């Protein structure tokens, strides 16, 4: 089955710097890659997603890139702010499994003022 | 997202007890999921349901069972709880009818401790 590896497990940056989190997946049939943000004590919430027919997607300070050949995708956060501090999860899915997501292990991002 | 609720929010129980966690949603979504979250392991899928008559095992279904009582309700049961089932449990929903099958909306979570 699908396996998703996420790195790093923890990441500390200074406010204003950029942060990058990387994930690799094993199943070449996966075609949907969402990113979820989980603040302390809260539920995970979708922040951005990408499908396999595009290589990059941006939403303000957040962007996701996908390299299908290498089977990896990354989350990029620019101009980080303290409120970006959270745990971030990547995931992968195949459409024909109707939303069955396989998650990475999570990255705890800390943005220091 | 207040449209997905879970009860109880916290539960402490003893080894061998039967426990039921409940999830309700008012979003009108057809698909529902149960995950457990453990530190360093991310979110792992226990069971998922595409509609009332469709139940599927996820990555880690052993020791768990589910019931989809209605489109809006999906319950997770631990028939005989054991300490390594201590975790944070999340319910999630998604709506295949909007063409956004994979966008999942999570409940607030249930923290379960098995002594």
- B26: pLDDT strictly greater than 60: yes
At residue B99, the pLDDT reads 64
At residue B100, the pLDDT reads 60
Quote the tokens at residue B88: 């944070």
For residue B106, which residues of chain A lie inside 8 Å, CB to CB? Answer: 43-45
Q: What is the mean pLDDT of residues B38-44?
A: 89
At residue A75, the pLDDT reads 98
- B88: pLDDT strictly greater than 90: yes
Q: What is the mean pLDDT of residues B75-96?
A: 95
Contact flag B96-A45 (C-beta cutoff 8 Å)? no
B55 at A interface, C-beta within 8 A: no
Tell me the per-residue pLDDT of A31-41, one tens digit each, with 9 for 90 and over: 999 999 999 99
pLDDT higher at B56 or B101: B56
Could you say which of B41, B102, B109 has the minimum Cβ distance to residue A32? B102
Q: Contact at 8 Å (CB) between B112 and B64?
A: no
Distance CA(A65)–CA(A93), nearest Å, equals 16
Q: Contact at 8 Å (CB) between B110 and B10?
A: yes
Quote the tokens at residue B48: 């998922």
Tell me the per-residue pLDDT of B46-61, one tens digit each, with 9 for 90 and over: 999 998 999 999 989 9
Sign of CA dihedral B50, B53, B58, B61: positive
Note which residues in 7-46 of chain A have CB less than 8 A from chain B: 9, 32, 34, 42-46
Please, what is the Cα angle at B90 between B101 and B98, to 5 degrees? Answer: 15
At residue A2, the pLDDT reads 84
At residue B103, the pLDDT reads 82
Q: pLDDT confidence of B2, banded at 50, 70, 90?
A: low
- A69: pLDDT strictly greater than 90: yes
Q: pLDDT confidence of B101, banded at 50, 70, 90?
A: low
- A25: pLDDT strictly greater than 80: yes
- B7: pLDDT strictly greater than 90: yes
- B24: pLDDT strictly greater than 90: yes
Count of other CB atoms within 10 angstroms of residue B61:
16
- A95: pLDDT strictly greater than 70: no
Q: What is the mean pLDDT of residues A48-72?
A: 93
Q: Shortest Cα distance from B30 to chain A (angstroms)?
A: 11
Question: What is the 3-class SS of B43-96, one letter each residue?
Answer: EEEEEEEEECCEEEECCCCCCCEEEEEECCEEEEEECCCCHHHCEEEEEEEECH
Contact flag A44-B106 (C-beta cutoff 8 Å)? yes
At residue B40, the pLDDT reads 82
Give kind and range of the element (H or E) at residue A61: none
């Amino acid at each position: 089955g699908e396996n998703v590896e996420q790195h790093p497990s923890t990441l500390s940056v200074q406010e204003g710097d950029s942060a990058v989190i990387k994930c690799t997946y094993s199943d070449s049939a996966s075609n949907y890659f969402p990113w979820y943000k989980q603040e302390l004590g809260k539920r995970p919430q979708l922040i951005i997603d990408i499908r396999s027919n595009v290589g990059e997607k941006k939403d303000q300070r957040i962007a996701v890139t996908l390299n299908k050949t290498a089977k990896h995708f990354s989350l990029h956060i620019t101009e980080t702010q303290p409120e970006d501090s959270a745990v971030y999860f990547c995931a992968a899915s195949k459409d024909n499994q109707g939303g069955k997501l396989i998650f990475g292990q999570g990255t705890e991002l800390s943005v220091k003022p | 997202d207040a449209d997905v609720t879970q009860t109880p929010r916290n539960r402490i129980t003893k080894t061998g007890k039967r426990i039921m966690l409940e999830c309700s949603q008012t979003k009108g979504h057809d698909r529902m999921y149960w995950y457990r979250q453990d530190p360093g392991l991310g979110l792992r899928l226990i069971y998922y349901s595409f509609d009332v008559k469709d139940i599927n095992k996820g990555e880690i279904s052993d020791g768990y069972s589910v019931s989809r009582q209605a489109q809006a309700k999906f319950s997770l049961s631990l028939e005989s709880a054991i300490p390594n089932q201590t975790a944070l449990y999340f319910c999630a929903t998604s709506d295949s009818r909007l063409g956004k099958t994979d966008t999942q909306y999570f409940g607030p979570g249930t923290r379960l401790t098995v002594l």
